[in-house]
Amino acid sequence: MKSRWMMAALMMAVSMVFVSCGNNKKQQAQQAEEQVTAMSIDDVMAKAAELVDQQVVIEGVCTHTCSHGAKKMFLVGSDDSKTLRIEAGELGAFDTKVVNNMVTVKGIIKEERIDEAYLVDWENRLKNQTAEKHGNEEGEGGCDTEKNARGETANTEEGRIADFRAKIAAEKEATGKEYLSFYHVVATSYEINE
């Protein structure tokens, strides 16, 4: 009888060790995730092609939220030529208090390709007057901040399309690619750094 109790006590002790080790591993994994160092906007933009469809944690100063419901915000890197669009996705919208603050965002890197088919579709939507309207009331095509992030300079939809065609032609000559790649992040969470 005594040996059964000792055997049961030994089995319970061994079980507690395994449970304890399992909990420690879970705690260590959670701590490691919390200690992930945020990437800078410059680093994300330099490595974006390698990071497509991967989760990242990034940090940058928010310079703007989209006036159409704050569904997009823009984080700037070392200079305003390094601007990354962040989409709210399932979060719905961003708090407009993010503007002019350092923000940490966790999300998935996505690639948007602009090629001839994209441009033809855009032209057709313009002809049918179904293109999504952004920008100011004077008919200027597109959000200024988003245009800046893409290096755009044209002020009309037609001018933007022509500029993209010229950039695609230059890209094809330089690299053989017949499209332009633009990267953004679909946020899964964000916080304003205090």
Is the pLDDT reported for residue 1 higher than 50?
yes
Higher pLDDT, 80 or 36: 80
Q: Tell me the C-alpha distance between 191 and 169, whole Å.
A: 40
Domains of the chain: 39-192 (2.40.50.140)
Per-residue pLDDT of 24-55, as tens digits, reads 555 554 544 445 688 999 999 999 999 999 99
Q: Give the three-class secondary structure for 38.
A: coil
Q: Give the three-class secondary structure for 95.
A: coil
Orientation angle between helical segments 116-127 and 157-175, nearest 10 degrees: 170
| Beta-strand relationship, 83-87 and 180-192 | parallel
Is the pLDDT reported for residue 67 higher than 50?
yes
Residue with tokens 């879970």: 26
Q: Give the three-class secondary structure for 39.
A: strand
Higher pLDDT, 75 or 69: 75
Is the pLDDT reported for residue 138 higher than 60?
no
Amino acid 68: pLDDT: 80
What's this model's pTM, rounded to 2 decimal places?
Answer: 0.72
Mean pLDDT of the chain: 82
